[in-house]
Structure 1
């Protein structure tokens, strides 16, 4: 989710700095499934090296 040119849909939370919140539509397979996140969460990537990053979100 960290790398790539697509910044829409589910990728907006991970690549564009959007807050993770509200209704999230399932990004693969049938698009009719969703879940709801209460509160707002910022994705803050931490670099491990030149090719890897991670983030931790406590919900």
Structure 2
């Protein structure tokens, strides 16, 4: 769940943003984009998981993916 519009909408659709803003799918190796382990901590997904953002409040969105 996110409450900041840049996670799901914006002009910069490079890198991790492409997954959340254009493709609406996560796959492959995904690196932690912020915080202490930025670009070091990661997970590896063996499949492609599509999702749809669900609106909760004005700027809040979420999605759930079962892996």
TM-score, normalising length from structure 2? 0.63
Corresponding position: 1:15 with 2:21: yes
Structure 1: which 5+ runs fail to align?
Answer: none
Structure 1: 4+ residue segments shifted above 3 A: 28-35
**Greater share of residues in helix:** 2
TM-score, normalising length from structure 1? 0.69
Structure 2: which 5+ runs fail to align?
Answer: 1-6
Q: Which one scores higher on RCO, CA 8 angstroms, separation ≥ 6?
A: 2
